[in-house]
Amino acid sequence: MSYLGRNRFLGGGPHGKNDVLFKIFLGSLGLIILGFVHILVTKQGRETWLVVSGTMPFYIITSAILIGGIYWWYSHEEFTGSELVFFSSIAIPCSYVTLALAFLWFTNLGHIVIWNSSVREVTWEEAWVDEADDEDDTDTHHSASYDITTMAKESIPTTKAVWFAYVERFGGQGRVNSRTNIWADDEDWGSGSDGDGTAEIHSITWDGKKESKIPTSNEHIEANYLIAADTSLKIQGVKEGYADYLVPYPRVTTGTYGPVYFDRIIEQKAKVGGGFDQLVDKKLDEALQTLGSQKQCNIVVYIVGTADIGFFQALREHWQEGKKNDICVCIGYTQKKINWCRVMAYTDHTEFKRTLECEVRDLETLEGKEGTFVDTILKRIKAPGDKGYLRKPMADFEFLASDVKMPWYIQFLAFAWAGVWLLPTVAICIRD
């Protein structure tokens, strides 16, 4: 029998047969690789490595995997030396990916930030069938998918109704580009296909007209050492008396054109007349389509109906200093008058914040000044030197990486997660 026929990995299971266990093994290995790729694509590799490599669970999981591999190799003659080398080679990647994703998804290290851009293309992949290669297998059915691609190269899942809304906005059916799905063996009939017998991928791009352009806001999970290390100075009772004025940080919502909407104007116990919130929101959305990526920023305006400037400290604690790319302009507004203004942002440019606060106060009122208010913010952000905005990079807080801790129950979850990932590999190594 050839080496490929005897090897449980290269040969696809006993006697070269692609059995269920072997497929599960490939799936688990694929998930580890997919997790690693996700971390790299989202550019969180360095941040998560600094945190993970500085925690005891990383060394415990890695050691447990290596010791387990040696034990199974010693106690099972079917577990060959080459398989031990392979098993050991995935110990560190498996430990790192498991803990990195656990930190990002289940602890305060994973910090949601808002990226702003605009729609470049919308794609509809029809439902399709991948037919089985032999009679022992079954066909694989893939549901239809609808995705928005932004100018920032983000991919945002959406729905069929949103696809048709974009087709209408971007010029109609005549502008849809269709191509055959080369991975499909057949079209899967149903609501996710057009019923012409050919599995296709349809796409439509922005028509280049300013009036049809759609701004987008999308949530991303990124590492934030400052929040995760919990080093912020807590002031006892700072939020006391302000409960009615504090609201949760806004989230992206879904509308006619998909999950791309972000309400960046908050009016709490205050109301500016003349449709101020909608006009300012629209103008800032338009500006941030390009400014968002150029200056790595997101703008939030918080208008609160109190003359007490102590509210700003309560908001800072309530929002944990905001997002790392936020420029939050907080305004105390009563009787149609600007009482005070404070800016919350991750930046060392103190002159930027101080000058913007003064310029907003100089407006005296927001009534009928939507354009002036927006221009004031944008002009200050774009200003040169210390008077303009420059986001403080998270690299400046790397010294806090070793202070980031993982709760015991998350550690337990990570151990179990790593075990589930590696169980198929162990099973395949010790079987006949």
Average pLDDT of the segment spanning 133-149: 85
Going from the C-alpha of 100 to that of each of 32, 52, 95, 138, 427, the distances in angstroms are 12, 6, 8, 35, 25
* pLDDT level of residue 295 (50, 70, 90 thresholds): very high
Apex 190 CA angle, 185 and 194, nearest 5:
75
Tens of pLDDT, residues 258-275? 999 999 999 999 999 889
Q: What is the pairing mode between strands 186-187 and 200-205?
A: unpaired
pLDDT at 13 over 70: no
Render pLDDT for 20-36 as a digit per residue (tens, 0 to 9).
Answer: 777 788 888 888 899 99
Q: Is the pLDDT of residue 1 over 70?
A: no
pLDDT in the model for residue 178: 95
Q: Mean pLDDT, to the nearest integer, of 337-361?
A: 96
Among candidates 108, 111, 112, which has minimal Cα distance to 406?
Answer: 108
Q: Which residues does 301 contact at the CB level (< 8 Å), separation at least 6?
A: 264, 265, 266, 280, 284, 328, 329, 331
CA distance 297 to 316: 18
- 46-89 per-position pLDDT tens digit: 889 989 988 888 888 888 888 888 888 888 887 888 888 888 88
Query: What mean pLDDT is reported for the chain?
Result: 88
- Residue 372: is its pLDDT beyond 90? yes
Residue 3: burial class (beta carbons within 10 Å; 0-12, 13-18, 19+): exposed
The predicted pLDDT at position 3 comes to 39
Most confident among 101-105, 111-115, 374-378 (mean pLDDT): 374-378
Q: What pLDDT, on the 0 to 100 scale, is given for residue 188? A: 87
d(CA 190, CA 395): 50
**Angle at Cα 200 formed by Cα 199 and Cα 204, nearest 5°?**
160
Enclosing H/E stretch for 222: strand 215-223
pLDDT in tens, 158-177: 999 999 999 999 999 999 99
428, 79 in Cβ contact below 8 A?
no
Ramachandran bin of 33, using left for φ above 0, alpha for ψ from -120 to 50, beta for the remaining angles: alpha
pLDDT at 107 over 70: yes
Tell whether the model's pLDDT for residue 335 goes beyond 60.
yes
Would you say residue 232 has pLDDT above 80?
no
More confident residue, 421 or 145: 145
Q: Is the pLDDT of residue 303 over 60?
A: yes
Q: What is the pLDDT of residue 355?
A: 97
Q: How confident is the model at residue 343 (pLDDT cuts 50, 70, 90)?
A: very high
* 3-class state of residue 320 by DSSP: coil
Cα distances (Å, whole numbers) of residue 122 to 125, 201, 205, 333, 411: 10, 11, 6, 41, 40
Give the separation between CA 287 and CA 357, rounded to whole angstroms.
Answer: 20
Each domain of the chain, given as residue ranges in start order, spans 3-107+410-430, 116-212, 232-390
pTM passes above 0.85:
no
Instruction: Summarize pLDDT for 172-206 with one digit per residue, the tens.
Output: 999 999 999 998 888 888 778 888 889 999 999 99
Q: Which amino acid is at 402?
A: S
Fold of 232-390: Diaminopimelate Epimerase; Chain A, domain 1 (3.10.310)
Q: Is residue 205 exposed (0-12), middle (13-18) or buried (19+ Cβ within 10 Å)?
A: middle
- Binning the chain into helix, strand and coil, the percentages to the nearest 5 are 45, 20, 35
Closest C-alpha to 176, from 189, 184, 161, 166: 166
pLDDT at 276: 95
